[in-house]
């Protein structure tokens, strides 16, 4: 799913455009006991309560694609027999009307979701009458093409509110506040099936992780049955290893800066594209070639790529690029510079010693104190 498709689904998670038909929930305590369950028509919820659920659901579709939001495909074996995809299809097709099926869902989550404290499993079903889209990209509400049936799951931590004082309007006193168990925003969630090309894609789902470095690998592998993706941090580390191993002794200052600049140019060129920019094996090799890496080093690229990752691994460009600032680090000094000012930093060998030089203007500060540069002093002499 891309940004536009995710945005289209998020708009349905509002009071004005609600397409949710049924909601189920299960509160699980730290000892893995099911404390209470919810199962009813979504539109029967009190208005204020429904509004809070909408906030949770929209949060479960928020973040950066390739970082917090990940498109996952089911392996073929999970689409056969009693595979995980088949179970999710049964659950969706039931409209969450079968209690036995939702109870099985809760148990599968509890068996694979690793969380040491209390949490709330929320599961909703929705039916979206997808409007047709005219050539000018405007929706035609009276020209629906099909219905997108989906389920969405959000798993939310349940935490005890902080102790404190409050004002009691009935007694007109400041007194101790009663602590409540609060349902927090989701840590994990998924939308199934995916809404790819504004159509139902039963072969994929969209996974959400509040913390992109905590992907709940058992939950993804055993319950969802999907291939565990590389986290944003791991993508960056793996990409760096491929670059260092491929370039080896040719991994010099200028080449690495060229790679970063070319990455940022690629992102800038495609910033209006709703799909995230991804780099597979071919695209990474092309990036190195355009950044000045010689053919001799590129001949060894394939082996280094497959040693660090594998043939099917791809990287989200935004995860491996330094969009906000370049960080140039030595054992004693760290320099950060905006990408569009990278030309102010040079690498030179002076008397056999490598130096990183920064062009200075007459506006230099040390801990907020303006200092006079040598050039300025000479011009005043």
Query: Is 312 a residue whose pLDDT tops 80?
Result: no
Q: Looking up tokens 């392996």, which residue turns up?
A: 75
Q: Which residues pair with 153 in a beta bridge?
A: 123, 190
From the centroid of its chain, how far is CA 72? 12
- Give the whole-angstrom CA distance, residue 20 versus residue 214: 29
Residues 103 and 217 in one domain: yes
pLDDT band at 376 (very low <50, low <70, confident <90, very high): very low
CB of 184 within 8 A of CB of 160? Answer: no
Question: Tell me: the pLDDT tens digits for 74-107?
Answer: 988 888 878 899 999 999 999 999 999 999 999 9
Query: Is 362 a residue whose pLDDT tops 80?
Result: no
Show the domain range for 272: 233-320
CB of 242 within 8 A of CB of 305? Answer: yes
Query: Which structure tokens are listed for 3?
Result: 């940004």
Query: Is 167 a residue whose pLDDT tops 50?
Result: yes
Residues 298 and 354 in one domain: no
Residues 173 and 245 in one domain: no
CB of 15 within 8 A of CB of 57? Answer: no
Residues 11 and 39 in one domain: yes
Question: Tell me: the pLDDT tens digits for 339-358?
Answer: 888 888 888 899 888 888 88
The pLDDT of 209-216, averaged and rounded, is 90
Among residues 198, 213, 228, the one where a domain terminates is: 228
pLDDT for 134 equals 64
pLDDT for 375 equals 56
Residues 125 and 263 in one domain: no
Select the more confidently predicted residue: 249 or 137: 249
pLDDT band at 139 (very low <50, low <70, confident <90, very high): low
Residues 291 and 162 in one domain: no
- Give the whole-angstrom CA distance, residue 70 versus residue 66: 5
Residues 126 and 211 in one domain: yes
Residues 32 and 179 in one domain: yes
Name the domain count of the chain.
3
Residues 338 and 291 in one domain: no
Residues 104 and 17 in one domain: yes
The pLDDT of 134-146, averaged and rounded, is 65
The pLDDT of 33-40, averaged and rounded, is 94
- Give the whole-angstrom CA distance, residue 98 versus residue 330: 61
Query: Which structure tokens are listed for 364?
Result: 């230099």
What percent of the chain lies above the pLDDT cut of 90? Answer: 54
Select the more confidently predicted residue: 295 or 92: 92
Query: Is 380 a residue whose pLDDT tops 70?
Result: no
pLDDT for 136 equals 59
Among residues 228, 251, 272, the one where a domain terminates is: 228
Residues 71 and 155 in one domain: yes
Q: How far is CA 10 from CA 56, 64, 156, in A?
A: 11, 14, 18
Query: Is 206 a residue whose pLDDT tops 80?
Result: yes
Among residues 228, 255, 277, the one where a domain terminates is: 228
pTM assigned to the model: 0.83
The continuous run of DSSP H or E covering 355 comes out as strand 353-358
pLDDT band at 138 (very low <50, low <70, confident <90, very high): low
Residues 365 and 239 in one domain: no
- Give the whole-angstrom CA distance, residue 176 versus residue 194: 47
């Amino acid at each position: 799913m891309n940004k536009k498709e995710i945005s289209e689904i998020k708009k349905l998670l509002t009071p004005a455009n609600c397409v949710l038909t049924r909601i189920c929930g299960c509160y699980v305590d730290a000892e893995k006991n099911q404390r209470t369950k919810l199962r009813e028509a979504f539109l029967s919820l009190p208005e204020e309560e429904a509004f809070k659920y909408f906030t949770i659901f929209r949060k479960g579709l928020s973040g950066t694609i390739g970082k917090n939001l990940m498109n996952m495909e089911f392996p073929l074996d999970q689409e056969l027999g009693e595979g995980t995809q088949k179970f999710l299809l049964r659950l969706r097709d039931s409209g969450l009307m079968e209690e036995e099926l939702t109870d099985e869902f809760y148990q599968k989550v509890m068996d694979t979701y690793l969380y040491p404290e209390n949490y709330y499993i929320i599961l909703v079903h929705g039916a979206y009458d997808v409007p047709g889209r005219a050539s000018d990209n405007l929706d035609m509400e009276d020209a629906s093409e099909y219905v997108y049936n989906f389920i969405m799951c959000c798993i939310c931590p349940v935490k005890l509110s902080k102790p404190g004082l409050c004002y009691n309007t009935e007694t007109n006193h400041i007194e101790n506040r009663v602590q409540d168990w609060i349902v927090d925003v989701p840590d994990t969630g998924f939308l199934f099936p995916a809404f790819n090309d504004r159509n139902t894609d039963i072969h994929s789902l969209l996974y959400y992780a509040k913390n992109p470095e905590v992907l709940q690998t058992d939950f993804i592998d055993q319950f969802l049955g999907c291939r565990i993706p590389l986290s944003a941090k791991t993508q960056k580390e793996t990409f760096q290893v491929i670059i260092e191993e491929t370039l080896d002794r040719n991994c010099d200052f200028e080449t690495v800066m060229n790679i970063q600049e070319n990455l940022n140019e690629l992102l800038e060129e495609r910033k209006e594209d709703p799909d995230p920019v991804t780099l597979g094996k071919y695209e990474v090799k092309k990036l190195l070639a355009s950044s000045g890496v010689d053919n001799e080093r590129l001949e060894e690229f394939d082996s280094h790529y497959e040693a660090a990752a594998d043939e099917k691994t791809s990287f989200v460009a935004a995860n491996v690029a330094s969009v906000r600032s370049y960080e140039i680090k030595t054992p004693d000094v760290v320099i950060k510079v905006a990408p569009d000012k990278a030309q102010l930093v040079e690498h030179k060998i002076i008397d056999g010693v490598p130096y990183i030089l920064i062009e200075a203007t007459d506006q230099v500060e040390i801990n907020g104190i303006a200092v006079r540069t040598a050039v300025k002093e000479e011009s005043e002499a």
